[in-house]
């Protein structure tokens, strides 16, 4: 069973982000009808017609989004009718519903909305609670079996309820009687290739056991790496056992690097660890410039453990607020292991917290030297009079570097708290 | 001249939002090579091969994104080479560059990154400053003229600089001779409907003069409102004069609200004002939790004027670090005009800076009361012994509120500095 998606709209080819694709892609995968292709076409009759013909020749289900509006460049109804060789018929009952929607908002219906009351012969209308354009489903029977065209409007606030309320129930049971289960493992504090080396034997092959099949993929984003494990099959308990075995293999290889699964977010994981240990934390930032405090305080309830943060950009403020010694700054420079350690200890003492966390480094784009290049960073953690410090070298833009430092600092903190 | 885009990656068909499309769509339109079609394919050799063959048969330029990584499901290089009937050749100089990227970060290159050093015969490599995968451009000559394939990596932080630095300069001059000019005006410190009321007579109609046409749109995002003015035409000087007239109308109506145009960003505008006045600044944050310092330090060179920030989440730290009086906290509470003012003055005195900026409020989701609801915020600015303070009420999630407070604080600072 092949499913394809055609997105219609010139705006999608000239700068507008298409969120319908992502939404439908996920939902269709969940019901066992994963998209095998997506095509975006402009509001152009010929290009759309050609794409639709190609798509129909390859697939069992073609979903279209967009082009159902009331203006001259809304071509979906007409083009699909033409390609199928069917007529468009005016439906008074559809017009009545559209008029009522305007009436409820005390508006008169503009004349051009009338075109939304045309239905392709033999199609079923799909109710649209939010907007004025009904969707349509056309079922085609031919020698090769049955094909379906599903037409949805483009705005997500119309498309999403129509999908949940009508399309998914309509398609349910059509999907290959296939269960699809997904586990996402989040990893920080290591590079993509570094983690790949450790897990390639586990993840680089599709495996099957009878009709159950699993596969892995790696998705890096902003200093964080996700390993995605997808299982497909028809027998739920066999599939669960298969996934569980793979999950355990993964944890045996890289369990220490996995900070969470699914919706878990690193700053929340760290927050929960602090609460569990009944620890408080204070943060001293130089190169991250407030980002680390910002991430930690994004977590609701963080005031329970976060006492304060300081962003000491100048040497003077490192001395005044954190009591970093002038001699240390002079001898080693602001970007050094020694200063990072004194910052972490200084901020912990100032706050009387259990933990002090500090960052210092060169975020660039300027300010680097041959011995201290852009991207050189020290992260220090002070805990009960003991202090640890790590050196890193990151690349990317100023913002990229800030983001990576923040993720690595949170991960270092997580591992320290786990001990 | 037809341009098509092929996005490669199973994740794009199963729930991941594709932002590269929107970015490339806009850039290619700007240079007169608008995309006529976009196709998303999974990491599947056969589907990709078929899509590429179709795309090459229709277009003059085919751009691909994704599939250049170091793992087994990165197929772009191989599939394109196969479809073109060309070999992939190992390039020691590319490997050297990839190795150097790891070396600069004190890492050993994992063996699988070696596959990124293969170039399609006859292709030009496109440098990638951020990631390890170089892009490639292949030029094909045949009876019908010349075709081009441009291969880019998927991560936007790699794709965007490569497009700006290599691809757009390479393609410039190839496009159609339709001029498209865009002005974007950035506005903060006012709601979308507030600004719409002031400009609706100017922006709510398309206007033309001969073949020159202009239109406006409003795009609100994260506390900032953009007004976009687009002009299309064939005569550059007529179009420029038309746009200029509209721009002046807009400034007459709402000039005081516009903090910048185009690439301008509010924290940079504020930074330039501080430099021009030779002022230094220190920041005290409660509800914004470090976000304000983070935004200010995102600007390269901000260490010139930003002395330090403090994130005083606890009452104790407000007293210890900022010398907020216990009596003030007790009488008015931490979220009050009086505490905001003492925070702004306290942080200015601590840093001996010209300006002190402070935020205090309730970011939620809990912690609100009937008299002090979630979203109640005070922003104070202390300057030369004078202090001003404003009260606001924002809505949205915890993160939404933090972002809006940061934008309103920067805008209040901008207007104070402008006086």
Q: How far is CA A272 from the centre of its chain?
A: 23
Length of chain A: 419
Contact A296 B289 (CB under 8 A): yes
Contact B350 A314 (CB under 8 A): no
Q: How far is B293 from chain A (nearest CA, A)?
A: 5
Please state the ipTM of this predicted complex: 0.74
> Which residue on chain A is closest to B37 by alpha carbon?
A41
Picking from B34, B40, B28, the residue whose alpha carbon sits closest to that of residue B163 is B28
For tokens 């699909």, what's the residue?
A: A80
Cα-flanking dihedrals φ and ψ of residue A297, to 5°? -85, 0
B contact residues 89-148, partner A, Cβ 8 Å cutoff: 101-102, 104-107, 109-113, 130, 132
Output the pLDDT for position A204. 76
Output the pLDDT for position B417. 95
Output the pLDDT for position B195. 86
Q: Which helix (H) or strand (E) holds A259?
A: strand A258-261
Tokens of B21: 């499309």
Secondary structure of residue A144 in the 3-state scheme:
coil
Which one of B43, B71, B294 has the shortest CB-CB distance to A289?
Answer: B294
- Chain A positions touching B71 (Cβ under 8 A) are 196, 200, 204, 218
- Taking only the tens place, the pLDDT of each residue in B326-345 is 999 999 999 999 999 999 99
First and final C-alpha spacing in chain B: 52
Which one of B39, B69, B298 has the shortest CB-CB distance to A399?
Answer: B298
Q: Which helix (H) or strand (E) holds B98?
A: helix B92-104
Mark the ranges of chain A whose per-residue pLDDT is less than 70: 144, 175-177
Q: Are A23 and A167 in contact (CB under 8 A)?
A: no
B262, B268, B273, B277: CA torsion to nearest 10: -150
- Burial class of residue B418 in the structure, from the number of CB atoms within 10 Å of its CB (0-12 exposed, 13-18 middle, 19+ buried): exposed
CB < 8 Å & 24+ apart, contacts of B107-112: B107/A191, B107/A194, B109/A193, B110/A193, B110/A194, B110/A196, B110/A197, B110/B70, B111/A197, B112/A193, B112/A196, B112/A197, B112/A200, B112/B70, B112/B71
Distances (CA, A) of A270 to A212, A225, A279: 36, 17, 11
Q: Are A218 and A195 in contact (CB under 8 A)?
A: yes
Q: How far is A58 from chain B (nearest CA, A)?
A: 11
Output the pLDDT for position A191. 87
Contact A17 B13 (CB under 8 A): no
B contact residues 249-308, partner A, Cβ 8 Å cutoff: 283, 285, 288-298, 300-303, 306-308
- Taking only the tens place, the pLDDT of each residue in A170-200 is 988 776 667 778 899 999 999 888 898 899 8
Tokens of A353: 């917290």
The pLDDT of residue B176 is above 70 = no
- Taking only the tens place, the pLDDT of each residue in A197-252 is 899 889 877 788 888 899 898 888 888 999 999 898 888 899 999 999 999 999 99
Q: Select from B75, B156, B271, B308 the residue whose CB has the most chain A CBs within 10 Å, as the one to mutate to test that interface.
A: B308
Which one of B12, B107, B157 has the shortest CB-CB distance to A400?
Answer: B157
State whether residue B187 sits within 8 Å of chain A by CB.
Answer: no
Q: Which helix (H) or strand (E) holds B254?
A: helix B236-254
- pLDDT above 90 coverage of chain B, percent: 75
Picking from A75, A78, A98, A94, the residue whose alpha carbon sits closest to that of residue A86 is A78
- Chain B positions touching A39 (Cβ under 8 A) are 37-40
For tokens 């709510």, what's the residue?
A: B204
Q: How far is A193 from chain B (nearest CA, A)?
A: 6
> Which residue on chain A is closest to B311 by alpha carbon?
A309
- Taking only the tens place, the pLDDT of each residue in B87-146 is 999 999 999 999 998 888 888 888 889 999 999 999 999 999 989 999 999 999 877 678
Tokens of B235: 């005569």
Output the pLDDT for position B182. 85
Secondary structure of residue B217 in the 3-state scheme:
strand
> Which residue on chain B is closest to A22 by alpha carbon?
B15
Contact A308 B313 (CB under 8 A): yes
pTM of the model: 0.75
Q: How far is B159 from chain A (nearest CA, A)?
A: 13
Output the pLDDT for position A30. 84
A contact residues 5-44, partner B, Cβ 8 Å cutoff: 12-19, 21-23, 25-26, 29, 34-42, 44
Which one of B41, B300, B398 has the shortest CB-CB distance to A298?
Answer: B398
Picking from B44, B42, B3, B5, the residue whose alpha carbon sits closest to that of residue B21 is B5
| pLDDT, averaged across chain B | 92
CB < 8 Å & 24+ apart, contacts of A132-135: A132/A70, A132/A98, A132/A101, A132/A102, A133/A68, A133/A69, A133/A70, A133/A158, A134/A68, A134/A94, A134/A97, A135/A68, A135/A162, A135/A166, A135/A167
């Amino acid at each position: 069973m092949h499913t394809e998606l055609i997105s219609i709209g010139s705006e999608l080819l000239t700068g507008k982000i298409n969120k319908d694709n992502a939404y439908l892609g996920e939902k269709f995968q969940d019901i066992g009808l994963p998209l095998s292709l997506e095509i975006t076409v402009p509001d152009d009759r010929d290009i759309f017609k050609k794409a639709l013909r190609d798509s129909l020749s390859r697939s069992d289900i073609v979903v279209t989004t967009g082009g159902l509006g009331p203006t001259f460049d809304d071509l979906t109804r007409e083009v699909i009718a033409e390609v199928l060789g069917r007529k468009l018929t005016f439906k008074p009952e559809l017009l009545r519903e559209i008029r009522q929607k305007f009436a409820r908002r005390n508006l008169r219906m503009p004349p051009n909305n009338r075109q939304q009351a045309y239905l392709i012969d033999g199609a079923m209308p799909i109710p649209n609670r939010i907007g004025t354009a009904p969707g349509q489903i056309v079922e085609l029977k031919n020698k090769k079996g049955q094909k379906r065209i599903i037409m949805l409007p483009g705005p997500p606030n119309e498309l999403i309820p129509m999908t949940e309320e009508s399309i998914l129930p309509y398609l349910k049971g059509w999907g290959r009687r296939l269960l699809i289960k997904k586990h996402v493992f989040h990893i920080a504090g290591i590079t993509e290739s570094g983690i790949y080396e450790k897990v390639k034997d586990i993840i680089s092959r599709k495996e099957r056991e009878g009709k159950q099949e699993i596969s892995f993929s790696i998705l890096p984003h902003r200093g964080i790496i996700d390993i995605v494990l997808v299982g497909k099959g028809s027998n739920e308990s066999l599939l669960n056992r298969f996934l569980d075995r793979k999950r355990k293999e993964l944890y045996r290889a890289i369990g220490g690097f996995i900070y969470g699964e699914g919706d878990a977010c690193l700053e929340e994981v760290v927050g929960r660890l602090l609460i569990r240990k009944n620890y408080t934390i204070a943060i001293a930032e130089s190169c991250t410039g407030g980002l680390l405090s910002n991430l930690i305080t994004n977590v609701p309830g963080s005031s329970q453990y976060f006492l304060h943060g300081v962003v000491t950009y100048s040497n003077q403020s490192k001395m005044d607020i954190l009591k970093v010694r002038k001699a240390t700054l002079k001898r080693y420079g602001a970007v050094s292991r020694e200063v990072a350690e004194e910052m972490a200890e200084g901020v912990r003492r100032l706050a009387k917290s259990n933990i002090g966390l500090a960052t210092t480094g060169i975020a660039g784009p300027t300010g680097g030297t041959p011995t201290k290049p852009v991207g050189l960073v020290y992260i220090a953690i002070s805990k009960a009079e003991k202090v640890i410090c790590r050196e890193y070298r990151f690349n990317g833009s100023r913002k990229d570097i800030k983001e990576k430092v923040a993720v690595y600092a949170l991960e270092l903190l997580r591992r320290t708290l786990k001990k």
